[in-house]
Structure 1
């Protein structure tokens, strides 16, 4: 427990990395070297720090955001009603599919009876229906897909404070 907490502690350099890389990543032959130079550190140090932040779950993801539809793919927000007794089993089943991302738990109520939410992303538009069917067959539970009706772009950069 202490090791995980110690790994999650970030210093001023970590904060600078997070702040700097939220708004843009260099597109060049050695992007990490260029980003590191802008931060006043070495490329190896930047890579090591990013890996430590990911391992400690300070960062849950580091990578580009793609508009999958422009590449011929599709994505939807999906939800399930998972009985508490089967929760971990269903989590393991759902997370085993490469099309699944951002799986998380929410408390359900009458207004929203779903307690498992995840994003499905596939290489083709018809891949969503196939992924839903496959997850339903593997879990024995229905998957409810909520396709995007309209797209909004909200650029949100979060400053990392001490």
Structure 2
């Protein structure tokens, strides 16, 4: 990862340009062309440094979403995490040190599809999925000041 990759990841987590060609705008700011920005993002995605590039909407303003958790036996954690990650409706997934050790967010076009995804994951894994729907809105800044060594 070079300095331009680092800038791309750090500087554009917020205030992403709302333009018809946002990658051209990013490229202009970084001294790159539009194709180079897209190539860099594709490479960073393939390498696991980027999981997705997209908007974050306030919950329940577009479609449906929920936080979910599972109690996965340690010896199956990687297998079940891969199963969960295979669903395009899962936008992030993480391990916690708790009996409920696998947590993920499901976002879909409707609440009904969210419920279907949770049921499909539960059935495929053979493990109950705990649905933890949003009860109160909080604003959390999802940008992180990345430090490079």
**Under TM normalisation by the shorter chain, which class is it?**
0.7 to 0.9
Report what 2:117 is aligned to.
131
Report what 2:135 is aligned to.
149
Instruction: Tell me the alpha carbon deviations over residues 100-150 of structure 1, each in whole angstroms, 9 at most, x when there is no partner.
Output: 231222222xxxx11111112221123333332222222221111111111
Q: Structure 1 residue 14 and structure 2 residue 5: aligned?
A: yes
TM-score by length of 1: 0.76
Q: 1:27 to 1:130 in 2, by over 3 A?
A: same
Q: 1:150 to 1:95 in 2, by over 3 A?
A: same
- Could you tell me which runs of 5 or more consecutive residues in structure 2 were left unpaired when the two chains were aligned: none
- Could you tell me which runs of 5 or more consecutive residues in structure 1 were left unpaired when the two chains were aligned: 1-9
Instruction: Tell me the alpha carbon deviations over residues 39-75 of structure 1, each in whole angstroms, 9 at most, x when there is no partner.
Output: 222222222222222222222322221335112x211
**Count of residue pairs brought into register by the alignment:** 148
- Say whether the 8 Å CA contact 1:15–1:161 is kept in structure 2: no
Q: 1:139 to 1:32 in 2, by over 3 A?
A: same
Report what 1:106 is aligned to.
96
